[in-house]
Every structure is written in C-alpha cells, then in structure tokens.
Amino acid sequence: MANPFSAVRSALEQVSSVVWLLIDTVVEMGDRIMQRRFPFRVSTFFEQTNRTGVGSIPLVALVSFFIGLTMALLTGYQLRPFGQEQLVPQLVAVAFTRELGPLMTGIMVAARIGAAYTAELGTMTVSEEVEAIEGMGLGPLRYLVSPRVLAVFLLMPCLVVVSDIAAMCGAALISRWAFDMPFQIFAESSLDSLLIRDIVAGTVKSLLFGLIIGLVSCYRGLTVRGGAAGVGAATTSSVVTVITTVIGFDTLCNVVLVALFDK
Amino acid sequence: MSAEPPPIVELRDVHLSFGETKVLGGVDLCVTERARLTVLGQSGSGKSTLLRLILGILRPSAGTVFFKGRDVTKMSRRRLNRIRQKIGMVYQYSALISSLNVRDNLALPLEELTRMTPAEIDQKVDEKLEMVGMSDVRDKMPSELSGGMRKRIGLARGIIMDPELILYDEPGAGLDPVITSVIDELIVSLSEKIGATSIIVTHEMGSAFRIATRMAMLYRGEIIAAETPEDFKNSGNPVVAQFISGNTKGPILEQAASA
C-alpha cells in the first residue's frame, strides 16, 4: 500500500511546482517587458484564444443547453404538486450563474483544452522542441506557456456567459412546453432573481478555473518523460488532475462565499 | 611561432549526477576559438549531457563551465539567455518546431530576439538556407522533409544568429553514409565561413576524423584524451585504441563486464 505521507508530500511538491511555473512565467514575461518587447507572441495568443474560446462554444453551448433543459424539467415536476413551478426560472438562473455555469464549463474546457495543451507541450518536450526553444534563449515559458494560460484565463468568463445563456434557453424552452410558461415571463423572472453577487461569484470562479486549467495542463506537458507512452499518461493524468482540482476549488469557493456573504 | 587562440569554452572538474546515477565525474576540457572539437564516447557516456551543460540547460552538481571567461553555472536566466544567443545548437533529431514551416523555424529567433524588419529577416533566412543548400524547401513543414533535409534545416537554424560557438549533437545519426559525408562537409565549410568554434558529439569515427581539428574521448565520466586527430589515431591509450578500431577485445568491454 502506498505510504500516505509520501502521497501528500508528492502532491505538495506538485502544487509548489505549479506555483513556481506561474512565478517563472511572470518573471520571463517581466524580463521581456523590461526589454521593451511584447511579453508573448500576439499571433500565438490569438490562435490560442480562437482554439480555446471560439472552438469550445459549440460543446459548451450544447451541453449547457441540455443540462438547463433537464434541470428545469426535473425541478418543475418536483415543484408542480405544490403549485410552485414559477420558481423554475429563478432556480435555473441562480444555479447556473453562480455554480453550474463555471463548473460545467471548467470541466468541459479541462477535458477539451487541458488535454490538448498537455499533449501538445508533452510531444514538444519529448521531441526536444521545448529544449531547442530554451537553447535559443527565447524563454519557453514566455513563448509557450503564457499565451496558452492567458487565453484560457481570459476566455473562461466568456464561455461561462455562453453556458449560462444556453442553459437558460434550454430551461425556457422546456418550461414553455411542459409548464406553459411564456418566454417573456421566464426571462423577467430569471433576471429579477439574479444578484450582482452571484454574477461576480461566477466570474471570479471562472477566472480561477481558467488559471488552474492553463497552469496544470501546461505543467504536465512540460514535465513529460518517456516518449509517446509518457505523453499519453501525462494527458490522462492532466485531465483527471484538472477536473478534480476544479471541483475541489469550486467547493472551497462555495464554502468561502457562503461563509462570507450568505449569513 | 603562432600564439594559441584563447579558450572559448572551458569545463573545470565538472561533476553531474542524476539521483544515484553518476554521469560525469570530474570533466576537464578546454576548447579554443575556431577549433572543431569532436567529443567521442560510447552511447550513454554523457556526451550530449556535456553540450547541455555548456548551453546552460543543465547545471552541474559540482565544477564550473566557462563560456568566454564567464561562468554559465552561476548566471541568472536573463544573462544566460543573452549568452545562448551566441551559441547555436544542432540537435540529434533536429528538434524543429513541428507547427512552423521551414521559413518560420529559421525566422523565429530573429523575430523574437532582434529588431530586424521582416524583409531583413527574409533575406537572412534565404542566405542561411542557401548556405545549407536548402533554398527550395522554404515553405515546407518539417514533417514533409527527409531526415537529411531536416538535419540541414536544423543546421541552418543553428547558425541563423551568427553564433560564435556551434554545438552539434550526433549530426550523422540515422543518416546514410553519403548524406553523413555531406553533413560533415557542411559542418567544416560553415565553421570556416562564419568563423565559429564547433563542438561535435559523435561516435562515428569516420565523421569525427573528417571534421575534427581536435578530438576528445569521454569515458566513464572523464575526458581521458584530448589531442589532435593524428595523435588521437596513434594514441597509446588502450581505451582510445579499442574505440577507434571497434575491436570487441579490450578494456571497454572488460571493464563494463566487471562493473
């Protein structure tokens, strides 16, 4: 049986390595700014934003639409015996804005983009491309990590908005069909229930999840050892780690937010 | 009598271990300017590691590595990156960026590290491609090139910043004898044209003698011989003699069996 202390120690080492990756990336970017140069390649950044943001819209929208639809259907049927189905829009709006939007988007982006980052950087590592970039004095963290992490960090809130809107559309559609709720009533009721606090909480979470996805997946890619098998193992491990970390941080955020603001 | 050129690279008592595994155990090596030094040794003897120490990719467990009198082992990342611009590295498997075409692979360091205009960059890329005889593959992706072509593009990328020192990691590995000779001739002509010092890691004896102005042998983590090709060929050291002849009888296999 694995020693629990060594497992904890290994986990803490990995966390500190990810933090150092962030610090080193910022330092490399800072060095570049001191030389009065742009800290990363703009074209690479836009390629990554296109891939992370635009490329993820269909998946995020579709999955969120179905979850919103199912959520409205199930909660509506539960509330109907009490004549409270008019609460469905509020329930879906608050749940998605504050909780499910960032969480589901985080999981989908982790699976789609986190895996791609790890596999891509892992392949570059085993084929010595990363070392070549370092050997030329280009700064691999600035060149490879910063555009990827920034893209997923900045695009996550946008994807969460897409997720929220898609979920509301799904919920509105099913509410119209199953509970005879007009679209206008659904929209007004949802908007009335939304609080700035919930929107801010969702946005902060999405930024945090974006940072976690970007850093962990890049770290896993840059530390790949052992050829093609190593890339495969690192990609699987990266997706599992990122999804677990995102859910863990989501729980932590909820505890903190409830403790601070929902008393 | 002509004065000895100054050293460009100097390793002093360099030790390196990965965990329990000792790779280098006190390497002393001096490479003078404009020399073409081939470092010979068995597979896994730490030859490529030596290049990574000079480039500052790896840091030694003990000892110092000097480039033009400056200790690279104690340099900050910023200074090390500046030094690396004066060193070109040609990798065993070329290590071209697979997502960029040939032109962009060569242009990358120029775009990132200099303030050259796109027209100047294009001109320089064309010039280097012409030097390695690869002008017609400018727009091809690395995956569309053969091993020999990739090696030549890797060479062109290695010299794109007009380095003072070029490091070659197994330049003939995986190539047929004719292409290997072409690469060898290219290494000699490039080092003469741009006046750079070259350190070539190889275990192919033919290439080593064709290229070298000096030869060194790395054995069991130490440099056991560093001399001119002529002296190397007539070396009285039994390990060097066995390595050159490729004989199965001798100290290399005997010591490996007893280790």
What are the pLDDT digits (tens) for B5-62? 889 999 999 999 998 889 999 999 999 999 999 999 988 889 999 999 999 999 999 9
Nearest CA in chain A to B167: A135
pLDDT value of residue B190:
85
pLDDT value of residue B63:
95
pLDDT value of residue B174:
77
* CA of B234 vs chain A CAs: smallest distance (Å): 36
Which residue of A124, A127, A143 is in closest CB contact with B93?
A127
pLDDT value of residue A7:
84
On whether the CB atoms of residues A129 and A27 are closer than 8 A, the answer is no
Task: Give the residue numbers in B contacting A (CB under 8 Å), as ranges.
Answer: 52, 55, 57, 77-78, 80-85, 87, 89, 91-93, 95-98, 108-109, 112-113, 161
- What pLDDT, in 10s, does the model give residues A152-169? 999 999 999 999 999 999
* CA of B51 vs chain A CAs: smallest distance (Å): 11
* CA of B161 vs chain A CAs: smallest distance (Å): 9
Nearest CA in chain B to A127: B95
pLDDT value of residue A21:
95
* CA of A129 vs chain B CAs: smallest distance (Å): 5
pLDDT value of residue A263:
61
Which residue of B57, B77, B108 is in closest CB contact with A131?
B57
Instruction: Answer whether A47 touches B (CB < 8 Å).
Output: no
Using DSSP's 3-state secondary structure scheme, residue A58 falls into helix
pTM over 0.80: yes
Report the alpha-carbon distance of residue B142 to residue B216 in Å, rounded: 33
Identify which of B153, B151, B159 has the alpha carbon closest to the alpha carbon of residue B138.
B153
Burial level of B197, CB count in 10 A (0-12/13-18/19+)?
buried
Average pLDDT over residues B215-233: 92
On whether the CB atoms of residues A214 and A148 are closer than 8 A, the answer is yes
Identify which of B100, B189, B196 has the alpha carbon closest to the alpha carbon of residue B142.
B100
The side-by-side arrangement of strands in the sheet containing B21-32 is B21-32, B7-18, B62-67, B70-71
Contact residues, chain B, for A138 at CB < 8 Å: 81, 108-109, 112-113
Average pLDDT over residues B151-173: 92
Instruction: Answer whether A27 touches B (CB < 8 Å).
Output: yes
Chain B contacts in chain A segment 59-88 (CB below 8 A): none
Contact residues, chain B, for A143 at CB < 8 Å: 112
Instruction: Answer whether A129 touches B (CB < 8 Å).
Output: yes
Contact residues, chain B, for A28 at CB < 8 Å: 77
pLDDT value of residue A90:
92
Q: What are the Cα distances from residue A172, in Å, to A94, A103, A158, B129?
A: 14, 21, 21, 62
Residue B2 clears pLDDT 60, i.e. is over it: no
* CA of B132 vs chain A CAs: smallest distance (Å): 19
Which residue of B78, B93, B96 is in closest CB contact with A31?
B78
Consecutive sets of 10 residues in chain A, 263 residues long: mean pLDDT of each?
79 92 94 90 94 94 96 92 90 91 95 95 95 94 95 96 95 93 93 86 93 96 92 95 94 86 67
Contact residues, chain A, for B57 at CB < 8 Å: 131, 134-135
Q: Please state, for a pLDDT cut of 90, what percent of chain B lies above it.
A: 65
Confidence of residue B117 (pLDDT cuts 50, 70, 90): very high
Contact residues, chain B, for A132 at CB < 8 Å: 89, 91, 95-97
Question: Rounded to 5 degrees, what are φ and ψ at B38?
Answer: -100, 130
Nearest CA in chain A to B86: A136
| More confident site: B198 or B254 | B198
Confidence of residue B259 (pLDDT cuts 50, 70, 90): low
Instruction: Answer whether A15 touches B (CB < 8 Å).
Output: no
Instruction: Answer whether A192 touches B (CB < 8 Å).
Output: no
Contact residues, chain A, for B89 at CB < 8 Å: 132, 135-136
Give kind and range of the element (H or E) at residue A102: helix A101-109
Which residue of A41, A123, A139 is in closest CB contact with B81?
A139
Task: Please indicate whether, in this complex, the C-beta atoms of A133 and B97 are within 8 angstroms of each other.
Answer: yes
